[in-house]
Structure 1
Amino acid sequence: MATRYLYLARHGHADALGNLTGTGREQARSLGKRLAHLPIRTVWHSPLPRAADTAHEIDLFLSGITSVAEAPELIDHVPYVPELEETPPSWRAFFDGYSPEDAAAGHEIARSLTARFAHAPEQQNDEHELLITHAYPIAWLIRDALDAPPVRWLGLSSANAALTVIEYRPGALPSIGMFNDMSHLRPELRWTGFPKAPHP
């Protein structure tokens, strides 16, 4: 049975202007080394520079026949703006000011994201694809794989250069092989992209 292996990673640590820091480049290279043995043929990245640069850093360690390309669906976006009654109190200030038009545009990107990537391969061979994106699109793809209510993308966070794997097979439910795995990163490179707090 052909399987689509979707490897998801948030871009490396970036500065306030959205450019990779030295830490972000080291994170990306560590992820590249971890993935080097896999038959990844395509690396897709968000149009934003921090994601594109992460993809190119990772590609240094992949096979010479890997292609690196931009996918507009991977742009940083809010995939679903919940109704007030389903919004956790801690998130209400975040969504304050989102217009119906902005919410609809973000949800349309989210629909395009799942339509393009969240399904079994159409051919008979396995597919291995790496998506370098942002925390919210990763959360949306996980939510979609679990067939959870749209609001449940909230609270799914990813560290910079952490690895998530979803497997898609014909006639089967998606399988989440791992989520937010940071074992390829040195301890001091882990948990960036999260608020400052004690972490295991």
Structure 2
Amino acid sequence: MSQYIYLVRHGEQQDAQHGMGDGPLSARGRRQGQLLAERIGGLPLTATYHSPLQRASETARIIGERMPSIESQPSALLMDCVPTGKTTEMPSAYAPFFGAVTEAEVDAGTAQMADATAEFLAPRKGERHDLLITHNFVIAWFVREVLGAPAWRWMTLDQAHCGLTIIQRKPGRPWTLLTHNDLAHLPMELRTGLPDPLLV
């Protein structure tokens, strides 16, 4: 029996460009959540978990309105965080990002991601379909972990708001990346959150 994890970044946050740490979804973010809910509405979900931050909680609530049989549970393991600090292998172009990140934040993020992958990637009995509504860096870390890529490579993996990433584990096999940042459910004007706009 296979395990599936559906990783979703929260919808667009209102006024996020002004440095707001957390807050409600924008009107566009709410629409992203609704379209995502329509996309995954037929999944046989076993469980749903979300980051406790408001933007993720509101995304979970929107999805829950479409899928009321499963109640999403908050998990601190899915909080926004910085998974690692600078490493010797990391290209220097990424160094400026860490100028405003404290050592304590990095230590906390590293510990959190170790616990999160141990919890959610652990082998389970039976067929499972789990939905995790979380943040850009958290999803990047899960994908990096599944691919066995160097620690710093999470910085090269970006997820759009309400993009869909799916990983799968079959018995006796490692986790596999099935799809990354799938945006088929979102029209071009709702594809936000990436560092560069998509041209196709």
Under a length normalisation based on structure 2, what TM-score does the superposition of the two structures give?
0.91
Unaligned runs of 5+ in 2: none
C-alpha separation in 1, matches of 2:188 and 2:113 = 32
Task: Structure 1: state its 5+ residue gaps.
Answer: none
- 2:110 matches 1:107: yes
Q: Tell me what 2:146 maps to.
A: 145
Supply the AA of the counterpart residue of 1:87. Answer: M
Matches within 5 A, 1:1-200: 2-15=1-14, 16=16, 17=20, 18-62=23-67, 64-83=68-87, 85-121=88-124, 123=125, 125-190=126-191, 192-197=192-197, 199-200=199-200
Q: Deviations over 1:53-108 (max 9, x none)?
A: 0011011112x32121101000000111132x323222111112544333221100
Contact 1:44 1:132 in 2 (8 A): yes
- In the alignment, the residues of structure 1 paired with residue 154 and residue 198 of structure 2 have an alpha-carbon distance, to the nearest angstrom, of 23
Structure 1 counterpart of 2:81, one-letter code: H
**In structure 2, distance between residues paired with 1:173 and 1:196:** 32
Cα distance, 1:155 vs structure 2? 0.7
Query: Which whole-Å CA distance do the structure 2 matches of 1:56 and 1:157 have between them?
Result: 24
Contact 1:114 1:141 in 2 (8 A): yes
Change (3 A) 1:25 1:126: same
- CA deviation profile, 1:8-41 (whole Å, cap 9, x unmatched): 0100011224320110011001010111111113
How many residue pairs are counted as aligned between the two chains? 194
Which whole-Å CA distance do the structure 2 matches of 1:96 and 1:183 have between them? 35
TM-score, scaled to structure 1: 0.91
Root-mean-square deviation over aligned CA pairs:
1.5
> Closer, same or farther in 2 for the Cα pair 1:78/1:37, shift >3 Å?
same
The ranges of structure 1 where at least 4 consecutive aligned residues each deviate by more than 4 angstroms after the TM superposition are none
Distance 1:166 1:196, change over 3 A: closer
2:84–2:110 contact (8 Å) kept in structure 1: yes
